[in-house]
Every structure is written in C-alpha cells, then in structure tokens.
Chain A
C-alpha cells in the first residue's frame, strides 16, 4: 500500500505553530528550570512567543489580497483542514493582541504583594496548614502560562477550522486549559473551584451535543469538510432530518461557548468565581474565537440552509439580549454584572450574525455581517479586558472588593481609575464617541439590511435597558458616599496599568476614528469557500 504524506504549509501556519511550540516549551520549563527563575522565564517566553506569532500573522495577512486584479481570498492549508482567509487572519490578530494583554494580567504580581493571583499550590486544601506553608514559602503556579498558550492555540485554530473534526479538536483544545485556569485562584478558592466544576460539567455536556451534531451532519453529507457539506446542502440530497438535527446540535455547542441564552447559565458563575485575569482573558478572547467559528460554520457550510436556521437564531438573539440585560439589573457584584453584560453583548453580536445574505444581495458600501461582527468583537474584547483589569485593582483586606456597595466613592478615592472605568462602561452601553457605539451601529445596520428589523428593535430597546445598569454603577462610583472605610485602589505595576491603558485607548480610538478598521474589514472580510 502506498502512503501519501500530507502536505503542510508550515510558513502559513507559523502563528499557530509558534504558540503551540511556546506552550510545549513552557511545560519543559516547568520541569527543567529552578523554581526561583520560572516566573521570569515563563513570562518572557509567553510574551516573545505571542509577539512573534503576531508578526507572523501580519506577514500571512500580507499574502492575501481579496480586492486586487487577481484576487486571492486566502489559502486552504494542511490538506484543507484550515482556511486562512481575511476573517481568520483578522480573528488571529485580535486573539493574539488579547492574549498578549492576558499574559500581562496573568503576570501581575504587585496586587497580591509580590505574587501572582494564582494558587500557590492548587493541590493543597483551602484553609489548611499545607496552604499556609505554600503561601509562606511564596509558591506560585507558573503552569498558568503554558495553559494560557494552549488555550490560545485552540482559539487560533477555532475560527480557521474548515472541517468539523478540526473544529471539534480546536474547541476542546481551547476549553480544557480554561477549565483548569478557572480553578486556580489564590483567594476565595472555594468559589474558584466551584466555577471550574460548573464550567467543566456544562462544557463537557455541550461538547457531547457538539459531537453528536458532527455525526449527524456527517451522516447527512458524507463528509466532514465545509465545502462538501455546503455542496450537499445546496443539492438537497440526503435526509433533511439529519441536517436539521445536526445543525441544531452544532449550534448548541457553539452557542454555549459564546454564552448565548438559553445556554448562558454558566457565564455569571464562572466569570465571578474564576481568577480575574482568567475572566478577563476568557471573556474577551473566547468570544472572538467562537464567533469566528460560528460565522464560518453557518455561512460557509450551512449558508445554503439559511432559511432553516435563521428563524431560530432570531429567537436566540432576542432571548439572549433580554436575559442578559434584564438579569443584569438586579446584580450587586461587579464581576457578575459584567458577566451578564457579556451575555447581552453576545446577543448584540448575534444580531449582526443575522445579517446573513448571499453575496449577490450585498450592495457596494453596505456593511457586510462578517465585517460588522468582527468589528464588534474587537471593540468588545478591548473594552472587557480593561474593565476586568480595573476590577482586579479595587481591593480591600480580603482581596478584590467586587461587591458593588464597596465601590461607592471610588470617584473620590481614585478619579483617574474611576473615570476610565466609567468611560469603559459608557463604551459597553454604546454611547457615541466610544467604540461600543460604532460596533452597535455596524451590527444593527448589517441586520437591518437583511430585513431583521424586529430583532433590531428589540436590540435598541435592550441597549437602553443595559445603559441603565451601566449608568447605575457610574452613579455608585461618583455620587454615593462610601460606607465605612470605602474602597482602596491598590496601585498596580506597569503590567496591569498598560492593559487598562490599551483597552481604554482602544475604546476611545475605535469610537472616534472607526473608519480605517471598518475599511480594512470591508476589504478582507470574505470567506474562502
């Protein structure tokens, strides 16, 4: 029997390969480098790796040009397992930027008094002698950096996946490290472990649905690859029931990752319980990766069955926005409030996703839905990252003071920090001159031109509801007198400060001059089929 070796385009795949290599090297560092030096080596390795991957992603982006005389939409690489086109590379760049910010947050040591926010020894039980000894010795888990890199590798593969099997493997590679990271908090370890348990159980449950969906779609089309599925869908051969069941189950898996209602139940618990750096990274980067994958799966593979899935997604988008915005009204914990707001944002993103039309229906100059969604996740990612970074510096004696009542009077205590947090909240609410406004405008415009006006009306109403609880938090910070001592702001090192600065500046710049990025996306946001 003759065996044909697969052809792998190492140069085009270099961003993923660099990240995986850094992750594997990180594991070796844990084994080989003395404990005292691990932190420096791991942080250095992670930063250098992510920056190198970012440079590589820009080089690959330079090799595709969809609008020239001889358009090159992208490349299908690794035997068509991954599709490198405009949306993929753009998602890669956003994910890598967020990963870089994530590494900086993970590396922050000043807030806990010279040690990272992760458990000294995760195996030591909370409140025991073992834990006290671990913290007295100043132990810290530097394994978080390789785990983060593995998650990033999965996130890079997720929006690029061009067949169902790669999609599944990427989903798990991004999820498994996140489950572990959620359980590694230094303080409030019971909450952290509970968050990990809940995230893991529900995540495994949803991936069960996802795999069965893969099986059904494979049964329908006889292939895993998106182009063959698209061909089977458009030719209408095979059993309709298999296709509908398969699409539904795949959607369950993806909507779970996105945090859309009714698959949102894990989001507030996990965001609240997980260590704040992990929450920041997870909230921002997972959404980018998951929406990239959702767009490719439903536009490229199931585009021909649009009339079958669109009504369901209308309902899910409306439900997600209502659940996220309304339940956020009664929250008293800042992290939980931001979690519900992230559910609402998932709903707004789904509104943009509903702008799906066939390419011939999109007029020149229209916002196309891929462009709108990718722009929105960028703005959302930067804003959320900075918001959670600010949550991590408002502290009292027992760690982070996430109770909203403890935030009263923050405007007097630290006007700069409270001011930037207020600005970020306004950005999430979608006030003009912030990136949130441009993002919302883009997704609503995309949905309107596809005729989804009922969803857009609900979306506008829910934006108003959401503005209420954002403004309420601003009122608490600036116009309420503190009870007792009031909050204290621990001055973070340059690491966290730079994340806050980058996120806030991104929110401002993308709000004032969104044009260049929207134009870039307009030129590149086309899937290769």
Chain B
C-alpha cells in the first residue's frame, strides 16, 4: 500500500491547524486548531507505523491522545477562568501584559 497520500493529508491537516492557531481569535477555536495539529501528527505516526512495519508509532498515537485529553482538561480550565473574569474568550482581549 502506498502511504504517501496519508502523509500528505496529515501535512495538510497540520498546516490548517497551524494557520488556525495563528489567525483565529477565540481561545476555544485556537485550542481546537491545536488539537487538529496533534491529530494530524497521530495520522502521520500511524501511517509511518504502517510504512515501517512496527507498532511503535501506533503506541505513540495512543499516548498522544491521552496527553491531548489531559491538555484539554487544563486548557479548558484556564480558558473558563479567563472567560468568567473577562466575559470574553478572545485571545486579543487578554493584553495587560506587553512589551
């Protein structure tokens, strides 16, 4: 099986995620874009696992999912406190610290 299309797809997803992080303003959407980057990485790991003929990539994908879940917990907690304080989840509004 040719694995190249899957790698290309994962690169496209990763790029979409990366551009999303840089351009979107809502903290939740930015965070979703980060998750997209992590999942693109998972796709790449699994594809390389298939191409290399061993299981290490698949095992790593599980770990990445677990870590991403932990990151969601911490991230949503932080975004929630910011939203409750400022009544806004825009990352541009949080700008007291600068220069």
Contacts and interface: CB of A to CB of B under 8 A. Distances in A.
Interface residues of A, number: 44
Contacts of A12: none
Interface in B40-85: 40-42, 44-45, 47-49, 51-54, 56-57, 59-60, 63-64, 67, 70-71, 74-75, 77-79, 81-82, 84-85
A179 to B, nearest CB: 5
A441 to B, nearest CB: 33
A194 B59 contact: no
B94 A224 contact: no
Given A205-B21, A218-B60, A193 B82 contact: yes
A200 B85 contact: no
Contacts of B78: 179-180, 183, 193, 196-197, 200
Query: Chain B contact residues: over half helix, strand or loop, or mixed?
Result: helix
A215 B74 contact: no
Interface in A271-299: 272-273
A219 interface: yes
Contacts of A193: 78, 81-82, 85, 94
B59 A165 contact: yes
B81 A212 contact: no
Interface stretch (A83-91, A168-176, A479-487): A168-176
B91 A197 contact: yes
A220 to B, nearest CB: 9
Interface residues of B, number: 50
A277 B89 CA distance: 27
Contact of A168 (B30, B63, B95): B63
A224 B96 contact: no
B17 A176 contact: no
A453 to B, nearest CB: 34
A218 B38 contact: no
Contacts of B47: 219
Interface of B: 7, 10, 14, 17-18, 21, 27, 30-31, 34, 37-38, 40-42, 44-45, 47-49, 51-54, 56-57, 59-60, 63-64, 67, 70-71, 74-75, 77-79, 81-82, 84-86, 91, 94-99
